[in-house]
Amino acid sequence: MLTGRRILLGVSGGVAAFKVAYLARRLIERGAQVRAIMTSSAGEFLGAQTLAAITGTAPYEDFFGGESVSPHTELARWADLIVIAPATAATMARLANGLSDDLLSATVLAFTGPVVVAPAMHTEMWESPATQRNVSLLNADGVHLVGPESGPLAGGDEGPGRMSEPEPIVDRIEALLGGGSMAGTRVLVSAGGTREPIDPVRYLGNRSSGKMGTAVAVEAAARGAAVTLVTTADLPVSDSIDVVQVETADEMAEAVWKLAGGVDVAVLVAAVADFKPQDRADTTLRRASGPPDLKMVPTPDILAGVASQENPPFLVGFAAETGSVEQAAEKASSKGVDLLVANDVTLPDSGFGVDTNQVTIIRPNGASDGWPVMRKRQVAARLWDLIAEERAST
């Protein structure tokens, strides 16, 4: 519930503004007080009178002409949280770059609490390098992005860029304001590809970027969980996540095994090397010495180690397959996991480095469920929903 919480709703100019009336209503139903700021183009898509009727207060539209001397600082002090929905590419660019040339961006600049942004725009605009740069800046500033989803867009187009529905936006707001669905749940996530040194300069590695595991950790934190992320990647995460930086399979094994006993759920997404060079040269190998004779030895199976602990947490493994996810069914039954998330990393929208993934959920009894291509953050959200259901039914 959001009883008594003060939420400032920023509406910028996009077709998705029509969903904002529902969003405002949902927030009020959960007990929040809502005030709204509309940018100059928002009024083309949503009537100010509609928001006034739902929230009980006329939306703010301009710095000037109202009763307040300094509306941006007053609103920033009033609010517990600011949510911007829909956030157009222009509004995101303003926020990412700290502009204050309209009431909404100035208010955000003057605000010190949590900011939730629900982008909505055409796919080309969403995927443009400039918008993606702004997304990275906003993430690094701790802004909470919800969506966008993939689906039908204005003008008959289709693809990523559709604003999230009001429900996930409200969920995120509740999580941020303390009533998160995973509050009290302790979570351990591993992410990234391990690097096995050959000499001080060279290593054997893999193509994992750490994006999927990081998304799993960030989503759990957004839902209020206490999250520890053991990772080889250096991607931005929310401040609340406890990050343990590692490089090799041995380091990851040590960290994960130490932490696994104290968590409720472990999701091991990392792409861990199965073998490492037996010896690591102390100085760089020289060309003149000829090709090195690398003797490889196995690394620990981290997942198996967690599964064999006395009271293992709810355990989720990931399996990167090439060509088909059939072999993953065998892993689901042999590895002692509660769920296995398999993906074919050779598909264009799936696997290493990209922001989307197409996964198949496999249970230890072999039952499988293929999910559509989604952004990694959406895969993470659906995975946490599933984990919650599974844990509730056991």
- For ligand CTP, the closer of residues 45 and 318 by Cβ is 318
The one among 227, 266, 270, 374 contacting ligand CTP by CB under 6 A: 270
State the nearest-atom distance from the C-beta of 365 to ligand CTP, in Å: 18
**Which of residues 40 and 327 has its CB atom nearest to ligand CTP in the complex?**
327
CA distance 73 to 204: 53
Contact residues for 252 (Cβ-Cβ < 8 A; gap 6+): 190, 194, 230, 232, 246, 270, 272, 302
Please, which residue, 34 or 319, has the CB nearer to ligand CTP? 319
b/e code 338-354 from CB counts within 10 Å (16+ = b): bbbbbbbbeeeebbbeb
* Residue at 383: amino acid letter: L
CB nearer ligand CTP, residue 88 or residue 231 = 231
Question: Footprint of ligand CTP on residues 63-122 (CB under 6 A)?
Answer: none
Query: Taking the CB of residue 377, how many other CB atoms lie within 10 A of it?
Result: 22
Query: Considering the rule CB under 6 A, would residue 249 count as an interface residue with ligand CTP?
Result: yes
- Total chain residues near ligand CTP (CB under 6 A): 14
The angle that helices 20-29 and 166-174 make with each other, rounded to 10 degrees, is: 40
| DSSP-derived 3-state class of residue 248 | coil
| CB-CB contact of 51 with 26 (8 Å) | no
Q: C-beta of 24: minimal distance to ligand CTP in Å?
A: 42
Least distance between ligand CTP and beta carbon 221 (Å): 20
Tokens 């770059």, residue located:
97
Name the DSSP class of 271. Answer: B
Among 141, 234, 274, 369, binds ligand CTP (CB under 6 A): 274
DSSP letters, 115-166, are: EEEEE---HHHHHSHHHHHHHHHHHHTT-EE--PEEEE-GGG-EEEEEPPPH
Catalytic annotation present for 206: yes
Minimal CB distance residue for ligand CTP: 302
Nearest distance, CB of residue 237 and ligand CTP, angstroms = 19
- Binding segment (CB under 6 A) for ligand CTP, from list 4-12, 86-94, 169-177, 267-275: 267-275
- Site string (313-342) toward ligand CTP, x via CB under 6 A: ----xxxx----------x-----------
Q: Per DSSP, which regions of 158-217 are E strands?
A: 158-162, 186-191, 196-197, 203-204
Q: Count of alpha carbons within 13 Å of 354, Cβ hemisphere only?
A: 15
Binding residues for ligand CTP restricted to 289-318, rule: CB under 6 A: 299, 301-303, 317-318
Rule CB under 6 A: say whether 272 interacts with ligand CTP: yes
Minimal distance, residue 300 CB to ligand CTP, in Å = 6
Instruction: Report the relative pairing of strands 158-162 and 242-245 from DSSP bridges.
Output: unpaired
Is the distance from CB of 279 to CB of 295 less than 8 angstroms? Answer: yes
387 binds ligand CTP (CB under 6 A): no
Catalytic residue among 97, 134, 139, 206: 206
| Smallest gap from residue 319 Cβ to ligand CTP (A) | 4
Residues contributing to the site for ligand CTP (CB under 6 A):
249, 268, 270, 272, 274, 299, 301-303, 317-320, 331
- What are the residue numbers of the active site? 206
